[in-house]
Chain A
Amino acid sequence: MTSKASHIAPLAWQIGTIAALLALWQWSALTHPAPYLPRLENIAAGYVRLWHGDLLYSAIIPSLYRLAIGFAIAVIAGSVIGLALGYLRGLEPWTRPVLEYLRFIPAVAILPAALLLFGPTDTMRIFVIAFGSVFPVLLAAIDGARRVDLTLIDVARVNGLSVVERLVRVILPAALPSIFAGVRIALSIALVMMVISELIAADNGLGYYILRSQRLFQTANVYAGVLTIGTIGLTLTLALLAVENHVLAWHRGWRGLSNAGRTA
């Protein structure tokens, strides 16, 4: 299935589908003029405006800043705490019930509490993003650390590695495939929380831009904002996959080989 034709055909279909959807939208907008159905060129103009000049600094940059900080906190804190909890099994009986309970709280539900706690600030929004996206990373890291082969830990001990060295040189790399799976889920949650946190008591950011455009009946700008969030989500996901493919090249080969062994 690696022949060129098998790759080109689906790509042509993908482009075709997108073109068809856009054509359908434009046809609807032209035949049924309505405020909620702006024409494509207006949406495109709004989209381009968002990425240039003032709007870039008042909408996109603030959103990306909060997303970056909140997501980074989630990934780092989730990995570090998760690896420690997963490796130091003695801690698990104390932490497990709390984690199992917290993970079922939708991050949206803590938004009012976060607003009370931090006020309508960047800190509040970053907190909500981090809170929402930390659990997939944390649980994946715990799981990854617990599944590290004990023989590898014996090898590390025989070679005189301290507990911290074992965590960094053995547990972390062994758990990385699991952590990356958690990080992918966390990224989509972080995007959701970024938008939602900017719908409340905000004066900048993409969420705020969409909300304000809606209140001003600038429908084309609403859709331009939505498409911008989609662009950011897609770009970040592709970047994450590129990093993952680079860092986990060994894992694909290793897993691919053991899968091949199983089917043989």
Chain B
Amino acid sequence: MPAGQHEDRGSDMSDSILIMDSVSKAYSASAPILKGVSFKQEPGEFLAVVGPSGCGKTTMLRCIASLMQPDEGAVLHRGLQFDNPPPWLSIVFQDYNRSLFPWLSVRQNVAFGLRDLRSADRDERVRNALIAVHLEHAADLYPWQLSGGMQQRCALARSIVVQPSLLLLDEPFASVDAQTRIDLQDMVMEICKTMSLSALLVTHDIDEAVFMADKVVVLSTRPARVVEEITIDLPRPRDQLVTKESPEFLRLRHHVYTLVRQQAKTNAVETLTERL
């Protein structure tokens, strides 16, 4: 879609960190994954995308990161389209033990994306990123010498060291234990606040989405489209106990949960009808 078509929708369009404009993607004609996904993310906003499992969340993320091109529609950053993974964006992948380079130390892993910098500047930025994720003591260890949570913190440091405007998080806490997950959630929120970072979290965990985000986007079953956008106006800073016990949190959680459940049921009925 030519960029010209977006210009007449108001000047605030060009400020958005991310605009998904009717993005569709199919691996084959009979297997559409995304069908007209549209939403908008403002600077500094923490956005969570939830949906039934297998609904195409990861495909959507790959389209946003330009690791994959959508068949239809456009992904816009400050009003402009982009073809290759842009420098203002970074990703934390789900599998930390597959996304870290086992032949590089923690320090080298974090420095991986830093190029065209004087080595003093690079060292400084790596050190700050490691301090932000509390890994400065483990800088010379290798990823396989770290626990799962530490590995994911290393991946997080590598993502923030390039000072992105948008941090994509692809189920980043799915492979760690419950206590580590809570610590990582708090750490990510803290980092986003101090760095004024926009984050887009893809997750299947509704509690996590409501707890962390300013806005939750609920996707339908495959082919995914946006069912509803829910603004989460819970006060910040958010606390694992206080926030999660507040009536407002429970109400929002109930609402999002119901939407996702409905999707799963609709899907079951549709599949059944198709077969009959």
* Interface residue ranges, A against B (CB under 8 Å): 149, 151-152, 154-155, 157-160, 169-170, 173-174, 176, 250-251, 253-254, 257-258
Contact = CB atoms under 8 A, between A and B. Distances in A.
B135 to A, nearest CB: 18
B231 to A, nearest CB: 29
12 contacts: A152-B98, A155-B93, A155-B99, A155-B112, A158-B65, A158-B89, A158-B91, A174-B103, A250-B102, A254-B102, A254-B144, A257-B145
Given A151-B99, A173-B101, A254-B102, A160 B67 contact: no
B99 A160 contact: no
B142 A160 contact: no
The 9 closest A-B pairs by CB, nearest first: A159-B113, A151-B98, A254-B144, A250-B103, A254-B102, A158-B85, A173-B103, A151-B99, A149-B98
A156 B233 CA distance: 36
Interface of B: 65, 67, 84-85, 87, 89-91, 93, 95, 98-99, 101-103, 112-113, 115, 142, 144-145, 158, 162
Contacts of B144: 250, 253-254, 257-258
B229 to A, nearest CB: 26
A158 B102 contact: no
A151 B142 contact: no
A262 B91 CA distance: 29
A160 B101 contact: no
A250 B162 CA distance: 25
A159 B172 CA distance: 18
B93 A151 contact: yes
A157 B95 CA distance: 17
Nearest to A177: B103
Given A159-B113, A160-B113, A254 B142 contact: yes
Nearest to B87: A160
B202 to A, nearest CB: 14
B142 A154 contact: no
Given A151-B99, A254-B144, A159 B93 contact: no
A49 B158 CA distance: 60
A149 B95 CA distance: 11
Given A152-B98, A154-B91, A253 B142 contact: yes
